[in-house]
Amino acid sequence: MIQPKLIIHGGAWNIPDEYVEDHIRGVEKAINTTYPKLEVGMSALDAVEFAVRILEEDPTYDAGRGAFLNEAGEVELDAIIMDGKTLNFGAVAALQNILHPVSVARKVMDETEHCLLVGDGALSFAKKMNFEELPPESLLTERELAFFKSIKNKETFKTHHPFEFEPRDTVGAVAMDRDGNFAVATSTGGTARKLRGRVGDSPIVGGGAYADNEAGAVSATGWGESIMKVVLCKRVCDHFFNQSAMEAAEEGIQYLKKRVNGLGGVIGINAKGEYSFAFNTRRMARGYVQNGKTIVSIEK
């Protein structure tokens, strides 16, 4: 029987001091609620979905409730879940009025012949699968509304600025279960004041997430337009074959910076069960379980 592994992130950003506590507490809660289930036999797939749902509910993060608003002041959500055993994945993009896009992504994987549904089509599918369509304001927080108003008409604003100046981002989870199967899930509200219909890296296979039992699994956070250009999570998984887990993550982040001046971070687990993480933002909230202990950190 293999000792399961779990690593979670709550975003790579310039997280200011006053938000550090919330970021740590949320990641810790997701780990401490999910890991005991993995220990008693929960599958990696169920575990990553379960963990990400906890983070989607938490308004601290740019996922589910509390997500950034697009140019029209609306919440549009992206998510992916991937099974390292089969390489099957399900994803949704620009989905509105649903609290748990990661679970809709799971249904896309389990219940359809497709991999990725977007916009109105994703919402219709979610409703068909009995997800509750919420009023738009229920996912929107006062904090995001105030932030949106402050940047709405700011001519100098660029969508990657919040990665350097504001305290929120994508969430993700990577797990290896007792049978040695890997899975990953990533969920996000994308970037602040994004164009309507903009899709970031998170629901793009290989970009915001990748899982393959032969390599391991990786989830990304950061500026989506840069991450998807270098297919970051697939790159790190490929490097798991010839580098240590930590070296592979570091290589991916260095390449992201060098090749496209990108910003962000990755977490992962390689096929040997070794944890992997790296980031080039000021902070990245992340945590994992090692020898029965939950280790959460946010600094470099």
By beta-carbon proximity to ligand GLY, the closer residue of 216 and 224 is 224
Beta bridge mates, 276: 268
- Nearest CA to 194 out of 23, 19, 55, 67 is that of 67
Our finding on whether 280 is near ligand GLY (CB under 6 A) is no
**Three-class SS state of 1:** coil
Distance CA 124, CA 142 (A): 28
Using a 10 angstrom Cβ sphere, with 0-12 exposed, 13-18 middle and 19 or more buried, the burial of residue 273 is: middle
Residues 129-168, mask of contacts with ligand GLY (x by CB under 6 A): ----------------------------------------
Is 170 an active-site residue?
Answer: yes
| Residue 137 DSSP code | G
Helix (H) or strand (E) holding 238: helix 232-239
Let me know: does 268 contact 253? Beta carbons within 8 Å.
Answer: no
| Residue 179 DSSP code | T
Our finding on whether 188 is near ligand GLY (CB under 6 A) is yes
By beta-carbon proximity to ligand GLY, the closer residue of 90 and 190 is 190
Of all residues in the shown chain, the one whose CB is closest to ligand GLY is: 200
Let me know: does 52 contact 105? Beta carbons within 8 Å.
Answer: no
How many residues form the binding site for ligand GLY (CB under 6 A)? 11
Our finding on whether 222 is near ligand GLY (CB under 6 A) is yes
Q: Which of 70, 97, 202, 213 binds ligand GLY (CB under 6 A)?
A: 202
Our finding on whether 223 is near ligand GLY (CB under 6 A) is yes
Our finding on whether 26 is near ligand GLY (CB under 6 A) is no
By beta-carbon proximity to ligand GLY, the closer residue of 107 and 194 is 194
**Binding region for ligand GLY (CB under 6 A):** 170, 188, 190-191, 200-202, 221-224
Residues taking part in catalysis: 170
